[in-house]
Structure 1
């Protein structure tokens, strides 16, 4: 999961839904659970890369905050460099007006926060990588 730190509470809800045994939604979340305690960007990138390498698809939680985050845009680009699938997930009926620039640059698919849509998009992104 890639997301803006300001949206951590909503992302935790999504994580909880994926762990609920009564839903079909399943994914392994390799995102950092706590911010890396460092100002050294190379070290932070190394820690994030370790997580990206463990995943097959990076799901980006799309919000206005996310579009402003340099880290989210970097994570998307890094995921694609490492041949990982990438999807965007938004809450509500429409995606935010602003998306990270990598979405337009790479034509990344966005889907509604719905178990079926997310599962389908993750499976497709996994195949396309």
Structure 2
């Protein structure tokens, strides 16, 4: 399928959703796990990972991060006890709200949940499961 076909509707296949994953750097292993699992052929959904993969200087980070969030279809926030104290992740949540992106808060541990940051007030919060991820991604 060419870009012309996709833009003008000649091919009805849907492009993968662009998902920004917000997380505490202390939880990077969970972000990596989510991205790797999503590549499995048995996974019921597909997405392109738009999360920040390298540190940048503060001003550059905010500018590049906002640009990535603007290009995304939705944002998944990986929630843990570390999230409340993760200034970068909290800024990403504020940015996603300002850009009016659909946001899903997802607890990474079922029995050891952290406090939900105020930036997620009014947003859907779920436990990590394929069904919850598929529902969010398919509805954006």
Normalising by structure 1, what TM-score?
Answer: 0.84
- Alpha-carbon offset, residue 95 of structure 1: 7.1
Q: Higher helix share goes to which structure? A: 1
Larger Rg: 2
Tell whether 2:133 aligns with 1:118: yes
| Unmatched segments (≥5 aa) in structure 2 | 1-20
| Unmatched segments (≥5 aa) in structure 1 | none
Matches within 5 A, 1:30-109: 30-36=50-56, 38=57, 41-93=58-110, 96-104=113-121, 107-109=122-124
RMSD: 1.6
Normalising by structure 2, what TM-score?
Answer: 0.78
Equivalent pair of 1:112/1:118 in contact (CA under 8 Å): no
Q: Once superposed, which parts of structure 1, at least 4 consecutive aligned residues long, lie more than 6 Å away?
A: none
Q: Counterparts of 2:80 and 2:44 in 1: how far apart (Å)?
A: 25
- How many residue pairs get matched? 120
